[in-house]
Amino acid sequence: MPIDPGQRAVSPTMDAASLYREEIYTDRAVGTLRVLVPVTADGAPDRSRPTVYTGEAQLMTNVGPLPISFEIAAATLSEAIAKYADAAKDGVANAMRELAEIRRQASSSIVIPQSGALPPGGPLGGGKIQIP
């Protein structure tokens, strides 16, 4: 990945107070649960921050699978599993709204040809008769 030359002097540093351990659970049929467990800088569980549960699924389209990610409001893994289906439906609905908005923006864009791009006499040609 190219780095902006202006940012080469900046050294990226990790925030030791915002570390998470990632765990992945799947049933190999429907989807995947990604669990982000907060940890301290030495790797011990950090009970002062909440665990984050996200679900992942794929929506099949005519151009291939579209990955969908969504957060699941849960306090435990079993609760996240129970809420997966509803959260997935909401995630797909959000993705469909975003796609519809992208399509709407793309269809409403106006393409204006640059000056001089049209032949003399308009887009169908024509114009003055020239005799060699």
pLDDT at 115 over 80: no
Pairwise pLDDT comparison (103 vs 117), residue with the higher score: 103
Q: Report the candidate in 21, 16, 90, 101 with the shortest Cα–Cα distance to residue 55.
A: 90
Residue % of the chain over a pLDDT of 70: 76
Spatial separation of the C-alpha atoms in residues 119 and 22, rounded to whole Å: 60
> pLDDT by residue (tens digit) across 57-82?
988 888 888 899 999 999 999 999 99
Phi/psi at 6 (5° precision): -70, -20
Pairwise pLDDT comparison (129 vs 34), residue with the higher score: 34
As to burial, measured by CB atoms within 10 angstroms (0-12 exposed, 13-18 middle, 19+ buried), residue 72 is: buried
Pairwise pLDDT comparison (12 vs 82), residue with the higher score: 82
pLDDT attached to residue 105: 87
Spatial separation of the C-alpha atoms in residues 24 and 105, rounded to whole Å: 36
Average pLDDT rounded to a whole number, residues 107-122: 63
